[in-house]
Structure 1
């Protein structure tokens, strides 16, 4: 379904002002745009994280749609349960409108702590949208490394020094993990590349990258 940006800008704000996010916070902007597109008939499941903290400091909330705060590990499990209840009510004729289901999690609650429940929800085929707000570290608790932290990055738990130059592990390829569940849509990388018969596309792309890289090294005088 095409979205008219001009029309979308005139939709009511479903994330109220006055929350504790910093001025210009990207996370708050993303939430506002997602809610504008999804509309008021939306249920949100939100894992513990910085955006949960700044939008729902007790006893206040900035959310103008049904909102469920979850522990770090179970945003996907919670929204899958709500979506299942919705389908049951539809079947019994007790509800007759379309409702959107969205789960939010940071990289800690998605790449690491919440990966198991997310995998289960995807495998079961629940109809919901999962959005990972990727800070590339556990920013809410002191900038500890996460599975999304790039290799070599300095964090409070992987400080860069003379012995260890930052995080020694590679960043987890979560998009490939999610695509491996064979769900209808994965944003972040083209899902069709992960179909075995299309493996040659990846090989051709990599060969082109390698070729250009070698040419760039020659121009820069690097061996």
Structure 2
């Protein structure tokens, strides 16, 4: 998919109420069992806080189930439902129908991980999006199946270590590039798709508020660093989130009624090595794989920002044999 990106400055101005519109009351409270520095917990907490008390949350199998609500204890102060791994799109569809039947106004929200969104739950997600169900689907993306032991998902970045893509003599971490799930959802012609990062909090708040104020299917894709899965220091999550944007590993944009727009653009691309060196999951990565990943990011930068990258770091292109497909690491992005 190639999106005709709108040009603009480093950030999008908005008439949204921004931080002033956020309630002071937490809907996901302290005392849960998440790891210190968990990006998943911080993102879920802030989204729930912005959405407010008139919200119902569905969570499938994921870390958020384990650390957020193990019977009889729950960190949620809003109605909360848990069901099977693959069911997010279906369950929030049913919740919306039930609330509509009872004439109850509420934000119906599903919060699923990348495994439950990119892979196992893709069919139900696609169905809900195609029907334009009046729900908010949040993907909390920590780039692997962290809850079950750090297995690879189709959100896992190229070169990353997981327990199913180990670094050894035969393979050197994950050999595939991350699936562009936001672009896939946008192809369903839904009202709103956005990517978020807690490191860019004003942008984060504006997008959640916008989704809250709209109707129809809304998809929020959030990067959520995982301390044990990414092998990072607990205090580095926000810094890594920021570097993900600065290196091009994560682009902040929104697609509103079919019109894509970048909402934040770094001044210059930061070499991907600065992002990789903070994460133990890339400790093994070879110089050749770094060049392959950097080339992919430079092409992605050009596609999203319509701007050629000055050398360095964009020097060498990858060989076809290393990619396992037609040689274009963007796959048509």
Q: TM exceeds 0.5?
A: yes
Q: Work out whether residues 114 and 143 of structure 2, in 8 Å CA contact, stay in contact via their aligned partners in 1.
A: yes
RMSD: 2.8
Q: Work out whether residues 19 and 62 of structure 1, in 8 Å CA contact, stay in contact via their aligned partners in 2.
A: yes
Is the counterpart of residue 126 in structure 1 residue 133 in structure 2?
A: yes
**SS at 2:309 equivalent:** helix
Q: Deviations over 1:35-54 (max 9, x none)?
A: 22111111111111111110
Q: Work out whether residues 302 and 308 of structure 2, in 8 Å CA contact, stay in contact via their aligned partners in 1.
A: no
* Cα distance in 2 between the residues matched to 1:44 and 1:207: 32
Q: Work out whether residues 129 and 190 of structure 2, in 8 Å CA contact, stay in contact via their aligned partners in 1.
A: yes
Q: 1:80 to 1:216 in 2, by over 3 A?
A: same
State the Cα distance separating 1:23 from its structure 2 match: 2.9
* Cα distance in 2 between the residues matched to 1:166 and 1:40: 42
Q: How many residue pairs get matched?
A: 206
Partner in structure 2 of residue 2 of structure 1: 16
Q: Work out whether residues 72 and 109 of structure 1, in 8 Å CA contact, stay in contact via their aligned partners in 2.
A: yes
**Aligned residue runs from structure 1 range 109-120, under 5 A:** 109-120=116-127
Partner in structure 1 of residue 26 of structure 2: 13
Correspondent of 2:156 among 149, 154, 157? 149
Q: 1:158 to 1:207 in 2, by over 3 A?
A: closer
Correspondent of 2:312 among 173, 192, 216? 216
Q: Identify which of structures 1 and 2 has the higher relative contact order when contacts are C-alpha pairs closer than 8 Å and 6+ apart.
A: 2
Partner in structure 2 of residue 25 of structure 1: 38
Q: Deviations over 1:52-90 (max 9, x none)?
A: 110111221111101001211001210111101222233
Unaligned residue ranges in structure 2 (runs of 5+): 1-14, 196-252, 262-298, 318-333
Correspondent of 2:69 among 56, 68, 76? 56
**SS at 1:212 equivalent:** coil
Correspondent of 2:142 among 135, 144, 153? 135
TM (norm. structure 1) is: 0.82
* Higher percent of residues as helix: 1
Partner in structure 1 of residue 83 of structure 2: 70
Q: Work out whether residues 301 and 307 of structure 2, in 8 Å CA contact, stay in contact via their aligned partners in 1.
A: no
Q: Work out whether residues 84 and 126 of structure 1, in 8 Å CA contact, stay in contact via their aligned partners in 2.
A: no
State the Cα distance separating 1:206 from its structure 2 match: 3.6
Unaligned residue ranges in structure 1 (runs of 5+): 195-201
Q: 1:163 to 1:104 in 2, by over 3 A?
A: same
* Cα distance in 2 between the residues matched to 1:76 and 1:66: 17
Q: 1:162 to 1:7 in 2, by over 3 A?
A: same
Correspondent of 1:106 among 95, 107, 113? 113
State the Cα distance separating 1:166 from its structure 2 match: 1.4
